[in-house]
């Protein structure tokens, strides 16, 4: 009886704690929206967002205006639930609203690959595949689904602003944040992030595109001065931002840590005002990366609108600058106007988020589809894949904790793993910066579920000889290998860490039917490539990654993904063979949370010279005559495709038509790519991607693809005129299945002088 009573008492205690936790979850951050709404004229929904913003600004005091332009500081962000402001949800940033005017709290969350920091109040958010996996789909509908899910889960968790939307091009393939981004081509990256962020904002939250601009490596990111000429930046990195901003109508752009041609990005007038706000027509607001604000007057006049997460520069210092005339009231009101018109435009005033439990199963469906559409088949010798479940008797699954988990990327993008890290880490290891986080998704389990008649055994891969022994006695060996990556650091090289190359070589020597599954943040070298039969690039595949991998291995899904970035054979083939590292850190200039925090000492600045200029990714390999391991746009299928009947029609927007036929026995999807080589007079010794279409084809089916080429994507940027121009002359059109496989060729001419 005593034991039964004790158990009952314990149950009541647990229930009470659960109810208290739920009460905190439901009541925390309840904003003034629950009270009677203000009846000011700015609440008239028939008015434009711009008019409504101006009306509410007219009612604000100077102190109220300043309060909306900065966060509460690092202590508030890092102190944990007990130190948060009353209404904060514990996301990456919080700015309290103004109840008397109906201005809502701004609740920000990192959301590059799902809503981050969900464990602050025990919340759940879907851990999506990495951004580079999304980009590998080359599918704008996949991007829309990705963004819509993030937007809906942000709302469900009470957030109203995303800090996702990473779009920095892969200039440095060892960059620790490649997994967040969309590859190396500005048009592919721009259109994918544009579709993603537009869908995200359609859910009623403010979207964000970052890191503006040329923050292409983590090493020394807060004091590296990127040096690049105007034409090169406008036709590469800034073109990606231009497309993303224009196609999404994004509400916020986050300026980056680094300097650009001598000025910090967050106080760079050319970047923020001349290009973003004037040339791109951006109507939203510029928010600093966390700790990337370095001044008050210079930053405000250059175009920065919001300092995060603190108030060192845009708090009392900004108020003083306005009062003494250094910053005009008109500029202050412009900052407020951009923020408030964005809040009105996405519906924060009229339809604020209502907190509820996210639809977990909807998240699972999207996560699995993205992983299936984003996993790239890199090699498939002798039709090794798909595996025939009925005929295989023994399978060896080896390495990378494939018995219990799949890898994720770290840093501010880290989505909390359900139930905690599936692979225990050493105590004291930071879970976001430096700690490796694994999601509970078991490839071993899903492979066993597919191969019901086979004996499927697992080996951890820590001893290559032991792994080779298991592989030798198996029909097939599937080796999982990984490359952890995180914000705050770069990979020292492109090799797989912890002797995994030796593991693959040992297993391949023991079994000719060796399949390698890569879980990486970006490209890696493969010294064993000729000795294995198949290679799948799964990237960081998300919470349903194991299911997606198994579906592709066994043919339930026909792979259709294409690489959004180039895989080099070796570091010597890169524009910068040696990673540009930061100088030794100086004393007293590190802030909490960020391992490479902003320094106030200009003496630590160093230059990164982008002497490759326009030659980013595949353009570098084309121009330099280098052979990649796997080229941009490359990806295999379980069927084959043929291209024919190219027709090019010149005009203001040239038209291209061609036929794609499925010549195999399985249905599939081919990403048909169109490249154009500009006239020699333009000075670009390479072709550029200008259009593509993903074509679904049944066995034996042929379809005609008709694409119109955007003149903007055919133009060059003339720095002395600060304008885009079409170069007169002959343009070569190349069509095919990758940047290095373009069987169709045509031309068109642009007439006129420059």
Instruction: Please report, for residues 517, 569, 636, the alpha-carbon distance to residue 400 in angstroms, rounded to integers and kept in the order given.
Output: 10, 23, 24
Q: What is the pLDDT of residue 606?
A: 86
With respect to residue 164, please indicate whether it lies within any of the assigned structural domains.
yes
Cβ pair 635, 559 in contact under 8 A: yes
Instruction: Find all residues with CB under 8 Å of 307, minimum gap 6, and list them.
Output: 69, 70, 71, 288, 293, 299, 313, 314, 315
- Please give the sequence-ordered ranges of beta strands (E in DSSP) within 237-375, or none if there are none: 252-255, 259-260, 263-264, 285-288
pLDDT tier at 426 (50, 70, 90 boundaries)?
A: low
Section 482-493 average pLDDT: 94
Domain boundary, last residue among 308, 327, 346? 346
Q: What is the pLDDT of residue 3?
A: 34
d(CA 250, CA 245): 6
Q: What is the pLDDT of residues 340-358, one digit of tens each?
A: 999 999 999 999 998 888 9
Task: Tell me the CATH number at 709.
Answer: 2.60.40.10
Q: What is the pLDDT of residues 536-545, one digit of tens each?
A: 999 999 999 9
Q: What is the pLDDT of residue 434?
A: 57
Q: What is the pLDDT of residue 432?
A: 52
**Average pLDDT of the chain?**
91
d(CA 228, CA 205): 34
Section 457-463 average pLDDT: 98
- φ and ψ of 234, to 5 deg: -70, -30
Domain boundary, last residue among 313, 346, 379? 346
Section 486-513 average pLDDT: 96
pLDDT above 90: residue 728:
yes
Task: Tell me the CATH number at 176.
Answer: 3.20.20.300
Cβ pair 222, 292 in contact under 8 A: yes
Which residue is listed with tokens 């880290």?
Answer: 414
Instruction: Please report, for residues 109, 118, 144, 506, the alpha-carbon distance to residue 310 in angstroms, rounded to integers and kept in the order given.
Output: 16, 22, 33, 52
Q: What is the pLDDT of residue 41?
A: 94
For 679, the domain range is 639-750
Strand partners for 697: 668
The number of beta carbons lying within 10 Å of the beta carbon of residue 354 is: 9
With respect to residue 571, please indicate whether it lies within any of the assigned structural domains.
no
Q: Is pLDDT larger for residue 435 or for residue 633? A: 633
Instruction: Find all residues with CB under 8 Å of 55, minimum gap 6, and list them.
Output: 40, 41, 42, 47
Local structure of 284: helix, strand or coil: coil
Domain boundary, last residue among 328, 346, 364? 346
Q: What is the pLDDT of residue 350?
A: 95
CA 166 to chain centre: 4
Report the C-alpha dihedral over residues 435, 192, 50, 278, rounded to 10 degrees.
100
d(CA 122, CA 128): 18
Q: Is pLDDT larger for residue 590 or for residue 538? A: 538
pLDDT above 70: residue 516:
yes
Q: What is the pLDDT of residue 424?
A: 85
Q: What is the pLDDT of residue 682?
A: 79
Section 56-73 average pLDDT: 96
3-state DSSP of 516-544: EEEEECCCCCCCCHHHCCEEEECCCCCCC
With respect to residue 196, please indicate whether it lies within any of the assigned structural domains.
yes
pLDDT tier at 582 (50, 70, 90 boundaries)?
A: low
Half-sphere exposure of 21 (CA within 13 A, CB side): 11
Q: Is the dihedral of CA 546, 547, 548, 553 positive or negative?
A: positive
With respect to residue 240, please indicate whether it lies within any of the assigned structural domains.
yes
Instruction: Find all residues with CB under 8 Å of 363, minimum gap 6, and list them.
Output: 125, 126, 149, 153, 543
d(CA 56, CA 76): 28
The number of domains in the chain is 2
pLDDT tier at 118 (50, 70, 90 boundaries)?
A: low
With respect to residue 498, please indicate whether it lies within any of the assigned structural domains.
no
With respect to residue 201, please indicate whether it lies within any of the assigned structural domains.
yes
With respect to residue 513, please indicate whether it lies within any of the assigned structural domains.
no
Cβ pair 223, 582 in contact under 8 A: yes
Residues designated as active site? 289
Percent of the chain residues past pLDDT 70, beyond the cut: 89
Tokens representing 322 are: 């306005």
Q: What is the pLDDT of residue 578?
A: 83
Q: What is the pLDDT of residue 102?
A: 96
Section 163-168 average pLDDT: 95
Cβ pair 306, 285 in contact under 8 A: yes
Q: Is pLDDT larger for residue 26 or for residue 246? A: 246
d(CA 61, CA 701): 67
With respect to residue 94, please indicate whether it lies within any of the assigned structural domains.
yes
Percent of the chain residues past pLDDT 90, beyond the cut: 83
Q: What is the pLDDT of residues 279-304, one digit of tens each?
A: 999 999 999 999 999 999 999 999 99
């Amino acid at each position: 009886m005593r034991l039964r009573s004790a158990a009952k008492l314990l149950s009541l205690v647990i229930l009470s704690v659960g109810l208290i936790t739920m009460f905190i979850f439901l009541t925390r951050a309840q904003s003034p929206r629950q009270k009677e709404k203000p009846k000011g004229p700015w609440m008239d929904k028939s008015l434009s967002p711009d008019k409504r913003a101006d009306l509410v600004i007219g009612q604000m005091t100077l102190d109220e205006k300043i309060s909306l332009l900065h966060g509460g500081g690092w202590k508030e962000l890092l102190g944990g639930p007990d130190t948060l402001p009353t209404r904060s949800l514990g996301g990456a940033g919080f700015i309290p609203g103004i109840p008397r005017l109906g201005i809502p709290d701004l609740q920000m969350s990192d959301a590059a690959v799902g809503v981050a920091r969900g464990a602050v109040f025990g919340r759940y958010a879907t851990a999506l595949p990495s951004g580079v996996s999304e980009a590998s789909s080359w599918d704008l509908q996949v991007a829309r689904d990705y963004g819509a899910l993030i937007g809906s889960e942000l709302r469900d968790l009470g957030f109203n602003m995303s800090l996702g939307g990473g779009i920095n091009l892969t200039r440095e393939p060892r960059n620790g944040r490649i997994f967040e981004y969309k590859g190396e081509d500005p048009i592919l990256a721009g259109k994918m992030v544009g579709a993603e962020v537009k869908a995200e904002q359609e859910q009623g939250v403010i979207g964000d595109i970052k890191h503006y601009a040329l923050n292409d490596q983590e090493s020394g990111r807060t004091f590296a001065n990127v040096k690049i000429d105007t034409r090169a930046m406008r036709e590469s990195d800034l073109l990606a931002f231009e497309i993303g901003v224009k196609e999404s109508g994004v509400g916020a752009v986050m300026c980056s840590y680094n300097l650009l041609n001598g000025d910090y990005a967050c106080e760079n007038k050319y970047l923020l005002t001349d290009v973003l706000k004037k040339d791109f027509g951006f109507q939203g607001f510029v928010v600093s990366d966390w700790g990337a604000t370095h001044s008050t007057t210079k930053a405000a006049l250059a175009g920065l609108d919001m300092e995060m997460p603190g108030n060192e520069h845009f708090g009392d210092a900004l108020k003083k600058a306005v009062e003494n005339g250094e910053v005009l009231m008109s500029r202050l009101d412009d900052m407020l106007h951009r923020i408030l018109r964005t809040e009105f435009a996405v519906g924060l005033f009229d339809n604020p988020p209502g907190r509820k439990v996210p639809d977990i199963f909807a998240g699972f469906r999207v996560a699995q589809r993205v992983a299936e559409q984003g996993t790239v088949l890199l090699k498939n010798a002798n039709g090794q894949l798909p595996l025939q479940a009925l005929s295989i008797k023994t399978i060896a699954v080896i390495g990378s904790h494939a018995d219990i988990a799949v890898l994720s990327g770290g840093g501010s993008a880290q989505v909390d793993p359900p139930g905690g890290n599936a692979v225990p880490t050493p105590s004291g290891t930071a879970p976001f910066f430096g700690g490796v986080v694994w999601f509970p998704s078991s490839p071993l389990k899903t492979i066993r579920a597919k191969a019901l008649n086979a004996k499927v055994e697992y080996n951890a891969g820590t001893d290559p000889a032991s792994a080779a022994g298991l592989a030798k006695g198996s029909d097939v060996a599937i080796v999982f290998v990984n490359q952890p990556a995180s914000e705050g650091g770069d990979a020292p090289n492109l090799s797989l860490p912890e002797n995994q190359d030796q593991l693959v070589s040992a297993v391949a020597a023991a079994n000719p039917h060796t399949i390698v599954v890569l879980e990486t943040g970006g490209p890696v070298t493969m010294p064993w490539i000729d000795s294995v039969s198949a290679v799948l690039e799964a990237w960081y595949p998300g919470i349903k990654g194991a299911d997606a991998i198994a579906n592709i291995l066994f043919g339930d899904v026909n792979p259709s993904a294409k690489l959004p970035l180039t895989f080099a054979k070796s570091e010597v083939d890169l524009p910068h063979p040696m990673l540009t590292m930061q100088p030794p850190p100086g004393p007293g200039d590190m802030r909490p949370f960020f391992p490479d925090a902003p320094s106030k000492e200009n003496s630590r600045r160093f230059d990164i010279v982008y002497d490759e200029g326009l030659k980013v990714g595949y353009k570098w390999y084309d121009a330099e005559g280098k052979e990649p391991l796997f080229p941009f746009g490359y990806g295999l299928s379980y069927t084959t495709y043929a291209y024919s009947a190219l027709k090019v029609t010149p005009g203001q927007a040239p038209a291209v038509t061609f036929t794609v036929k499925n010549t195999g026995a399985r249905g599939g999807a081919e990403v048909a790519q169109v490249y154009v080589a500009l006239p020699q007079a333009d000075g670009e010794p390479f072709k550029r991607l200008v259009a593509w279409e993903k074509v679904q084809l049944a066995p034996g089916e042929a379809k005609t693809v008709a694409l119109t080429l955007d003149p903007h994507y055919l133009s060059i940027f003339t720095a002395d005129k600060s304008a885009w121009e079409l170069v007169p002359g002959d343009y070569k059109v190349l069509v095919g299945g990758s940047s290095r496989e373009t069987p169709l060729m045509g031309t068109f001419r642009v007439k006129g002088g420059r």
